Amino acid sequence: AMAEEPNNGEIYMDLSSILRADRKWGDAVVLHQKLLDLQPTNILNYMNLASVATQAQQPGLAEQVLTTATDRFPDVAYLYGERAK
């Protein structure tokens, strides 16, 4: 399916759900990075990437993603709380 529709974000979300259920955090990070590239205006993509990056023991990436999100979406106050964790 991904080969046929490489820009279909729903496919990446579905695959990520499977990977997260299997605790394959590193692979989920890769999918969420692609999803963020495809849909950079969807704030949930930033939150989800930060979450799986944290699970994958990549706190630097999680912080970078949240910093980018707070810069891009300054009116979303809960991002500041996430950065403080």
Angle formed by the axes of helices 9-21 and 43-55, nearest 10°: 30
Structure confidence at residue 10 (pLDDT)? 83
Q: Count the Cβ atoms, other than its own, within 10 Å of residue 25.
A: 17
Q: Predicted confidence band at 16 (pLDDT cuts at 50, 70, 90)?
A: confident
User: Which among 42, 33, 32 has a CA at the least distance from the CA of 69?
Assistant: 42
pTM for this model (two decimals): 0.81
**pLDDT value, residue 14:** 87
CA distance 27 to 23: 9
Q: CB of 85 within 8 A of CB of 62?
A: no
